[in-house]
Structure formats: structure tokens, C-alpha cells
Structure 1
Amino acid sequence: MNDIFRKDLSGEMVSPNEAGYGDLIADIFATMKTAAEMNTGYRTPKEVHEYMERILGKKLDASTTVLPPLYIDYGIPVHIGKGCFIQQCCTIFGRGGITIGNEVFIGPKVNLITINHDPDPANRSATYGRPIVIEDKVWIGINSTILPGIKIGYGAIVGAGSVVTKNVPALAIVAGNPARVIKKIEISEKEMLTDMSR
């Protein structure tokens, strides 16, 4: 991984004027090309896994299902756990790093966005990354957007159409724009700890 991608992962500002930016764009287009090939026509689950492993640069557990089309800019910093189900038409901006735990359900048209622009209009073309962490057994509803730097705690639910701008506690149900806690999922701490240790 070259320096410009390390800067993305460390949260530093990345400018189109700096050395290596061309490599960044080239890698993004290469990833998009692979994703476009995966998204064109019917692909068997085995073929989808093969494409995803090329995009991610690592193995994808056989227990995880990804339904194309998937739109992704950069897969190397994206880590997907076991038993996940990622529905079709999701968009992943992975440059800032994304960790998806085990048994996470992601609905159609969900956006995971790790990149933001400099608020200074004179430098608006510069970007910086913030990682997203999605813990085990989270369910993200259709057409929701998770913004840069967000952590979604164990077992939480993000309601359909939500825009998540703040961290979500474990076992919370959040909804709205901006998303806010509307309910807690009631399980005992013992149940949660037992489940998380599996």
C-alpha cells in the first residue's frame, strides 16, 4: 500500500495536487472495473466470491453472501466477517477503512461512506478518511447512510432511510435523519456476553 492510501487510513488530508494521487485514482478505477464486471449479468455465488476476493484483496468467508450490484471505490481496507448478508445496490466508499463484524445484515441501497471533503472552499477537492466500524449482528435497513467515523454497536438496528451521523450504542434501534435512538433491544448482559463470545 503506497503512502497516499496510508494517509487516507490515518485520517490525513489527501490533495489532488500531491504525489501519488494519480495512483489513488488508478486504483479506484481498477476496483470499479472489477465491480462493474461482477455487476454485469448473472453471477453464481461462487463467482461473486471470486470477484469480491479480487476487490478486497483477501478471502471472503464462504458463509457471507453479497448480492450484486455492489458499487465500491476501494476494497483493500474493507474487512467483512462471517455470516454476513449484503443486499444489492449498496455503495461502499472504503478508502478510510471499514470493519464489518460477523452476522451483519445490510439492506439494499445502503451507503457506507468513509471519505469527506475539506470544508474550506479553497481546498474542497482535498479529502480525508474516517473509519466505519460495524459490530457483530447489526442490521442496517434499506437506503440508510452511515457517515465517516461512525461505530455501530453490537446488535443495533438502523431503521430504513436513516442517516447515521453519531455512534450507535449496542442494542439500540435508531432511525431518522439524523438518526436518533428510538428504542433499546432488551436482552440480558449475560445473553449478550455469551453471544459475543461465540
Structure 2
Amino acid sequence: MTTDDRFMPIHDPELLARGERVLGPEFRAMSERVLRATELTSRLNVLPFDDEAGRAALLEQILGRPLRAGVTVYPPFYTDHGLRLDLAERVFVNQGCTFLDYAGIRLGRGVMVGPKATFITVGHPVDPGERRRFLSGAPIDVAENVWIGAGATILPGVSIGRDAVVAAGTTVADDVPVASLVAGPKGTVRRRW
């Protein structure tokens, strides 16, 4: 997030990805997209599991582009925006995952995401007087061949290095080094290889 405390209207999601704040008409536009994404994911999540073509078609609408080769997403699947979620080739997303992606989430080639993992790119200020006035956030970047364990939570602005593992139930608030294991209630590097 920016260290500048001035309110800065956002004219596009790229500014939020750089740590700016969402206000006014931009917030209304974001809210409309949230309603559309919720409608699409609701439809996705009630399809028969073997309807792979229907699932792929709805995911393409949610993401705003065709799925890349080898991408697998098992419902239920939740996103608040969808258009800023970038899934590279061979990404696997297990059941019950949530992607709050307005500030941008990139999952690199071969990333595996365990069930009920949550990725959050936006939030509210701590100050109660500002809490309902704007959103702030930062993108999440997950490099190639990362494994995110079941129930992990990845917070705004985090980068996870290639070949890293995030243990089940871990909350990740800081960057994760390449080829490392993070674990615990607040992700702590436990091992490097």
C-alpha cells in the first residue's frame, strides 16, 4: 500500500494494484462486477461435476478469456471479480477456494492450490472513520510450481517464490522465498532447500 494518506480516486484496477484506494464511481463499477461474478460463480457451483464443457465455458466468462492448457478448477469456486485472476498453464485449484482478485492475482505455471485456500488482494483501513470510505489493496504473485496447502490464506501484496510450499492453514502476510516451506498461524519460513 502507498505511504501517502491522501485519498486518491481510482480510475482503473491498475492503480489499486499499485496500492491506491478505491472511491466513488470506481467503487460502484467494482460493485457491479462483483454482482456479475457472483451470479456466474453461483451457476458454476451448481453444475453437475462431470459437465466439464459447461464448467470451462462459465470459467471463461468469469475470467474474461479462454482457459490455458491443463488448467483445472474444481467447484465450488468463488471470486469477487474474476477478470484480474491470471491462471497459467497446468494450474490446479481444488474445491472451495476463494480469490478476491480485484487488485490482481497471478498463479504461475504448475501451481497447485489445496481445498479452501483463500487469496485476498483488497481490504479496508483499520481506522473506523475511514473503514467504509475506501478500499486499499495490492496484487498477489505466485511463481511457478508452488503448492498452497488446504485452508491457507494469502494476504494482499504477497509474492511467493518458485517451488515454495505454503503449509495447510498458514496465513501468509509476508513474501515467501524461493524453494522454502512456510508454516504456522503466521507463515514463518521453517526450511529452505
TM-score in same-fold range (> 0.5): yes
Q: Which residues in structure 2 correspond to 1:14-163 (within 5 Å)?
A: 14-15=22-23, 18-43=24-49, 44-125=51-132, 126-163=134-171
* Residue in structure 2 matching 1:165, options 140, 156, 173: 173
Identity %: 32
Residue deviations 1:55-112 (CA, integer Å, cap 9, x gap): 1111211311000000100011111000111001001000010111000000000000
How far did residue 159 of structure 1 move?
0.4
Q: Contact between 1:83 and 1:104, CA under 8 Å: does it hold in 2?
A: yes
Structure 1 residue identity aligned to 2:144: D
Question: Which residue does the alignment assign to 1:10?
Answer: 18
Residue deviations 1:28-60 (CA, integer Å, cap 9, x gap): 110110011000131422222211111111121
Q: Contact between 2:90 and 2:110, CA under 8 Å: does it hold in 1?
A: yes
Q: Secondary structure at the match of 1:173?
A: strand
TM-score, normalized by length of structure 2? 0.90
Number of equivalent positions: 182
Q: Which structure shows the higher helix fraction? A: 1
User: Which one is further off, 48-57 or 138-147?
Assistant: 48-57
Q: Contact between 2:151 and 2:168, CA under 8 Å: does it hold in 1?
A: yes
Q: Secondary structure at the match of 2:35?
A: helix
Structure 2 residue identity aligned to 1:36: S
- Residues in 2 aligned to 1:107 and 1:97: alpha-carbon distance in whole angstroms: 20
Q: Which residues in structure 2 correspond to 1:175-190 (within 5 Å)?
A: 175-185=183-193
- Residues in 2 aligned to 1:139 and 1:19: alpha-carbon distance in whole angstroms: 38
Q: Secondary structure at the match of 2:129?
A: helix
Structure 1 residue identity aligned to 2:44: M
Question: Which residue does the alignment assign to 2:4?
Answer: none
The gaps in structure 1 that reach 5 residues or longer are 186-198
Q: Secondary structure at the match of 1:26?
A: helix
Structure 2 residue identity aligned to 1:5: P
Structure 2 residue identity aligned to 1:89: G
Q: Secondary structure at the match of 1:174?
A: strand
